[in-house]
Structures are given as structure tokens and as C-alpha cells.
């Protein structure tokens, strides 16, 4: 069993307490609602503790930066996936960090290989896709497919896109903290 750095749970709770009520980048849910919906979908599908944790924390980078909720409207890619993964790497193994780091490339990949997926993106997700580099080219697609966490990132991306339902009942943050504790190094 993993030992949890006692500080990581406190830090995660503090980040959600301080910034989780902010709206989720142009969507009709808050950062916390989005994270909980994503984690609940992962849990419901029987994902590993690491992937449930990645699903809960995939957008933690939005809670860490000081660019504001409207940075995409100002033409800024907040690179939240990189910021979040870098922060998570202090506490978690690649099974958590890499799907977080790859969830934006997973969107770019899916848009390149599945036109139906691109057509279903919300306006906010289309806007961020442009800032994130648009659909992948053939070389990027092949490189992405070679990554060890390719499949996990695609699963996370599916839950991420679906986690935008106003008023959806989910378990609380406290419910998911045991997954977090089991997933630390």
C-alpha cells in the first residue's frame, strides 16, 4: 500500500476550496462539479484508483494558474494540462500524471481521427482546441499512439467531455479522497 504525503490531500482540498467554485472555462458547471462528474464516470466504469484520481485531478492546472476564467477569450492557452501534471508529479506516479498531461493531446487526437467527435465539442472546447494547436497531424497521431498511457488518456478524455451537466448529482470530493490516497507514490 502507498503512503500518502499528508500534505497532498490538504493541498488538493485547499485548491478546490479556493478556486473550485469558478466556472469551468465557458461551460455551465464549476471546476469542482466538472472534476466530480469526471471522477464519478471513471469510478462507474470500474477504472483503476489511479485513473479515478487522474479523472478527478485532470484540470487541477486550472486551479493553480492565475490567468483567470476568461484567458481563452483573450487568446491564451493556459497549458493547464502541463501545469497540473507538473504539480501532480510531486506526489503521484505516471499512472496518474501522464493521463492528466495527455488529456489535451487526446482531444487533439480524437478531433483528427473522428469527425463526429469534433462535431460534438462544446463551443468552449472548440475555442480551446484552436489555442491548443488544433487537430493533430499524421506525425503527432503516430507519436501519440506510441505513448504508454494512450488508452488511459482517451478514456479520461471521454469522461472529461461528458462532465459538463449542470445539477448532476455526484459523490463529494471526500468520497474520492481514498482513491487519491491509494494512488500516491
In 3-state terms, what secondary structure has residue 11? helix
Q: What are residue 23's DSSP bridge partners?
A: 30
Q: Measuring CA to CA, which residue among 35, 69, 30 is closest to residue 54?
A: 35
Residue 94 above 80 pLDDT? yes
Give the residue-averaged pLDDT of 162-175. 96
CA–CA gap between residue 102 and residue 82 (Å, rounded): 9
Q: What is the pLDDT of residues 114-126, one digit of tens each?
A: 989 999 988 888 8
Q: Distances in Å between the alpha carbon of 171 and those of 56, 119, 153?
A: 11, 30, 23
What does the block give as the cell for 45? 466504469
For residue 56, tell me if it sits in a domain: yes
Whether 1 maps to a domain, the answer reads: no
Cα–Cα nearest to 91, from 19, 155, 28, 181: 181
Instruction: Please tell me the predicted confidence (pLDDT) of residue 23.
Output: 78
Q: Are 164 and 59 in contact (CB under 8 A)?
A: no
Residue 61 located in a structural domain: yes
Place of cell 462535431: 119
- What CATH number has the domain bearing residue 72? 1.10.3210.10
Q: What are phi and psi of 23, to 5 degrees?
A: -65, 150
Going from the C-alpha of 107 to that of each of 93, 122, 153, 158, the distances in angstroms are: 22, 12, 9, 9
**Domain enclosing residue 31, as ranges:** 6-183
Q: Is the pLDDT of residue 33 over 80?
A: yes
Identify whether the C-beta of residue 153 lies closer than 8 Å to the C-beta of residue 105. yes
Which one is predicted more confidently, 73 or 46? 46
Tell me whether residue 18 is in a domain: yes
The reported pLDDT for the residue numbered 41 is 98
Other Cβ atoms closer than 10 A to 14: 13
Of 170 and 21, more confident: 170
Number of structural domains the chain divides into: 1
Q: Taking a C-beta distance cutoff of 8 angstroms, is the pair 51, 103 a contact? A: no
Per-residue pLDDT band at 13 (split at 50, 70, 90): very high
Does residue 159 fall inside a structural domain?
yes
Amino acid at each position: 500500500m502507498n503512503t500518502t504525503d499528508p500534505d497532498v490531500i490538504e493541498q488538493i482540498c485547499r485548491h478546490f476550496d479556493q478556486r473550485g467554485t469558478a466556472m469551468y472555462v465557458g461551460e455551465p458547471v464549476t471546476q469542482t462539479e466538472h472534476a466530480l462528474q469526471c471522477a464519478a464516470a471513471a469510478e462507474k466504469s470500474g477504472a483503476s484508483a489511479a485513473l479515478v484520481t487522474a479523472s478527478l485531478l485532470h484540470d487541477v492546472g486550472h486551479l493553480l494558474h492565475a490567468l483567470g476564467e476568461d484567458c481563452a477569450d483573450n487568446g491564451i492557452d493556459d497549458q493547464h494540462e502541463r501545469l497540473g501534471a507538473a504539480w501532480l508529479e510531486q506526489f503521484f506516479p505516471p499512472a496518474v500524471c501522464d493521463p492528466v498531461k495527455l488529456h489535451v493531446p487526446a482531444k487533439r487526437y480524437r478531433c483528427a481521427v473522428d469527425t463526429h467527435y469534433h462535431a460534438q465539442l462544446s463551443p468552449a472546447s472548440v475555442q480551446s482546441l484552436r489555442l491548443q494547436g488544433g487537430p493533430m497531424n499524421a506525425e503527432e497521431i503516430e507519436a501519440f499512439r506510441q505513448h504508454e498511457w494512450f488508452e488511459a488518456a482517451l478514456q479520461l478524455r471521454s469522461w472529461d467531455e461528458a462532465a459538463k451537466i449542470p445539477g448532476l448529482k455526484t459523490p463529494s470530493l471526500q468520497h474520492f479522497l481514498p482513491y487519491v490516497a491509494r494512488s500516491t507514490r
